[in-house]
Chains A and B, each alone.
Chain A
């Protein structure tokens, strides 16, 4: 018998486990992770990435959807292709292995989406309830940010100062100044230095953030390794290669065990637990509840109202490209994360149509010196290339609203390379094109101010990096899957903590909010019945 089983080993699982263990170092916690270990902070692997751009965790991604010629994985069932390939990772530490670290808080109006707009759903509580946990999450994730930024109210400063705007930000920042569009520093999970001791190194601005050789960007497996190697937590265990098949219940209200398949031994293992927390991401968490079928839960746990897996949302990611006649400032990618973000249109005024943020990406001036030299260009030719015609990029992340028919489901006859049931993704959004045009008009003004011409239409990625809302919180069981404490409606000891719990996603990256939720859940569990 285990005190608490946590399914998944990403940021939610790790932050929660740490919270429980800090409350009771003897807490009994078993973490089950379907994937294996990817080595972090290895200089040979870092060099390989530097040279080839091949990442050591690419094999942990979903394959692309099947085509006539390739088997692929998963199935795209709706009108819009919400791609899973590259959106998430199956490995120890979950998708934090590749996340960008953009750590923006939701705004107060995001918690009141339906009340204010009639769209989507409200959170069961307001910003002020989550605000202290946002502060804790920023410290836990080691976020560098501007504590004086007035965008949202904060009661605690960031742990590390913000990164100043880069030279590459100058054109966009100047254009926004002239157009009266507000902007600020991107809060970014990159560790700095402070008086608080840490086993993790500060960011050395190495420009290879997708595989940091120092571990300065939060990766959950590094923190789980800390818990296991350095702390005296005798009852914490992590089992890798453990594919959870189902959760068993007794009667209708109590979860009693987890059944998983050991990918190495091929055995099916049942583990009893006092409490079960599903932290497997928005897609796999919903799928696990769906397939946990019993006489009491014939459509899966918490799924009487067909809400599990439904209301799928993500962020469409718009990529605008432009061109300037010259690059007199010799702008080049000097950093591998953005330092400028505009939340000007992430505002109550825009909420009914879908808020959005504008980001100046690291590819703004995609100068590639190494490629020029590999092509045998002379020094004079390369100097001309650096200062000559310049292509530019702007990124926009847009809020969309939950629709019940947009959903994820288990493909019961197909398993992926990790022996997990594959995923069916159904997504449509008939209203999208209108919003894309409106945003394009704003970006056109920015290109004008920057002295640039837009190149073609923007490309739109609906990749499921920010998939959310599939197990959404609600006061009313008919409207969602979990309650305000993340407990599955109708269950007394089964919880979900993932982006799937968000009733609304706003226009910003979800990981900071998810971390805040995990820390809040930890406090709730400790208060409700002990650490485990």
Chain B
């Protein structure tokens, strides 16, 4: 049927990223905020990033490889430049084109960086661009005695 999640004898032993890869992904996630000057409070984000990665791996175990590859690509970029921020910038602004679609950089960009961008915005990064709510953000319920969880017509 439709279900992409594979259940097997190994399911109980859910695979997860190594500690080194996990650390590198957290650094990458933070770098997204630094590069785009996002001012959201990252407290609590690390656990949510780990849950996000675990969910991706649960649907496609290939994500274990994508995250490991991302850690490797970041390390290689950092070896090329003086400042770590410049390495991340090169990754964030990469536009793989003809003949490069299958490169490590392109794969990491599509499977890791672009997905982390979406997740970072959904966790709260969107606020810097003027809104109160956003696709993927848990804005909260519409309750009579509490603030409306989005900008309303007549609000300042």
Determine if A165 is an interface residue (Cβ-Cβ < 8 Å).
yes
Determine whether the beta carbon of B130 is less than 8 Å from that of A386. Answer: yes
Determine whether the beta carbon of A36 is less than 8 Å from that of B1. Answer: yes
Determine whether the beta carbon of A207 is less than 8 Å from that of B58. Answer: no
Determine whether the beta carbon of B126 is less than 8 Å from that of A369. Answer: yes
Residue of B nearest to A373 (CB): B117
Determine whether the beta carbon of B121 is less than 8 Å from that of A369. Answer: yes
Q: Which of A47, A57, A202, A334 contacts B133 (CB 8 A)?
A: A334
Determine whether the beta carbon of B139 is less than 8 Å from that of A192. Answer: no
Which residues of B (1-41) have their CB < 8 Å from a CB of A? 1-5, 32, 36-37
Q: Which residues of A contact B130 (CB under 8 A)?
A: 330, 332, 386
B42 to chain A, nearest CB (A): 17
Residue of A nearest to B93 (CB): A376
Chain B interfacial residues counted at CB < 8 A: 51
Determine whether the beta carbon of A370 is less than 8 Å from that of B117. Answer: yes
Contact A204 B141, CB 8 Å, known A47-B52, A335-B150, A369-B129: yes
Determine if B103 is an interface residue (Cβ-Cβ < 8 Å).
no
Determine whether the beta carbon of A205 is less than 8 Å from that of B55. Answer: no
Contact A170 B121, CB 8 Å, known A36-B1, A50-B136, A386-B130: no
B90 to chain A, nearest CB (A): 10
Determine whether the beta carbon of B141 is less than 8 Å from that of A203. Answer: yes
Determine if A129 is an interface residue (Cβ-Cβ < 8 Å).
no
Contact A43 B55, CB 8 Å, known A202-B141, A379-B37: yes
Contact with B along A351-375 (1 / 0, CB 8 A): 0000000000000000101100111
Q: Which residues of A contact B137 (CB under 8 A)?
A: 206-207
Contact with B along A156-167 (1 / 0, CB 8 A): 000011011111
Determine whether the beta carbon of B135 is less than 8 Å from that of A336. Answer: yes
Contact A205 B149, CB 8 Å, known A50-B122, A332-B130, A370-B118: yes
Determine if A154 is an interface residue (Cβ-Cβ < 8 Å).
no
Q: Which of A59, A193, A375 contacts B143 (CB 8 A)?
A: A193
Q: Which of B58, B129, B140 contacts A205 (CB 8 A)?
A: B140
Determine if A383 is an interface residue (Cβ-Cβ < 8 Å).
yes
Determine whether the beta carbon of B141 is less than 8 Å from that of A165. Answer: no
Determine whether the beta carbon of B141 is less than 8 Å from that of A375. Answer: no
Q: Which residues of A contact B129 (CB under 8 A)?
A: 330, 332, 367, 369, 382-383, 386
Q: What CA separation (Å) do A173 and B2 show in the bound complex?
A: 42
Q: What CA separation (Å) do A39 and B5 show in the bound complex?
A: 11
Contact A164 B148, CB 8 Å, known A205-B133, A206-B136: yes
Determine if A296 is an interface residue (Cβ-Cβ < 8 Å).
no
Determine if A51 is an interface residue (Cβ-Cβ < 8 Å).
yes
Determine whether the beta carbon of B141 is less than 8 Å from that of A193. Answer: yes
Q: Which residues of B contact A332 (CB under 8 A)?
A: 129-131, 134
Determine whether the beta carbon of A205 is less than 8 Å from that of B118. Answer: no
Determine if A38 is an interface residue (Cβ-Cβ < 8 Å).
yes
Q: What CA separation (Å) do A101 and B130 show in the bound complex?
A: 28
- Rank and list the top 5 A-B pairs by shortest CB-CB distance, nearest first: A330-B130, A376-B93, A167-B151, A205-B139, A207-B135
Binding site for A on B (CB under 8 A): 1-5, 32, 36-37, 51-52, 55-56, 58-59, 92-95, 113-115, 117-119, 121-122, 126, 129-144, 148-155
29 residue pairs bridging A and B, Cβ less than 8 Å apart: A43-B51, A43-B55, A44-B59, A47-B55, A48-B4, A51-B115, A57-B2, A161-B144, A167-B150, A190-B142, A192-B143, A193-B143, A203-B141, A204-B138, A204-B140, A205-B133, A205-B140, A206-B138, A207-B135, A207-B136, A207-B137, A208-B135, A334-B139, A334-B150, A369-B126, A370-B114, A373-B121, A375-B95, A386-B129
